[in-house]
Amino acid sequence: MYAIIETGGKQYNVKEGDFIYIERLPLEEESQVIFDKVVAIGKDESISVGSPYLSSATVKGKLIKNGKAKKITVFTYKPKKDTKRKLGHRQLYTKVEIVSISI
């Protein structure tokens, strides 16, 4: 059984036992997360698709940790103008383990 959930403006294909990295959630570690924006649920050969979401479906997860990704360097310049800018960015994330999928 798998589900397609929406969180943080993105969609994720998840199964029970999966670990996913999503946009940071303002919750404590080891707390329970419930995703109610379920776009679709598939089981064996059948699939249920919502419009836009399935009202009776939920996906439960356990928040493992909050953290920051590796630093990326953003360098912009304009040739022949002596203009340049160097920036760094570390994206905040939340690691979640999918515990159950229910209809």
Task: State the CB neighbour count (10 A cutoff) for residue 91.
Answer: 13
Is this model's pTM higher than 0.85 or not?
no
pLDDT digits (tens, 9 = 90+) for 12-59: 999 999 999 999 999 998 999 999 999 999 988 889 898 889 988 999
Task: State the CB neighbour count (10 A cutoff) for residue 94.
Answer: 22
Which residues are within 8 A (CB) of 11 and not within 5 positions of it... i.e. 6 or more apart?
A: 4, 5, 39
**CB-side neighbour CA atoms (13 Å) of 67:** 10
pLDDT number for residue 10:
94
pLDDT digits (tens, 9 = 90+) for 50-103: 888 998 899 999 999 999 999 999 999 999 999 999 999 999 999 999 999 998
Q: Tell which residue, 64, 15, 66, 9, has the closest CA to residue 37.
A: 9
The span from the CA of 63 to the CA of 34, in Å, is: 10
The token duo for 52 is 């836009």
pLDDT number for residue 95:
96
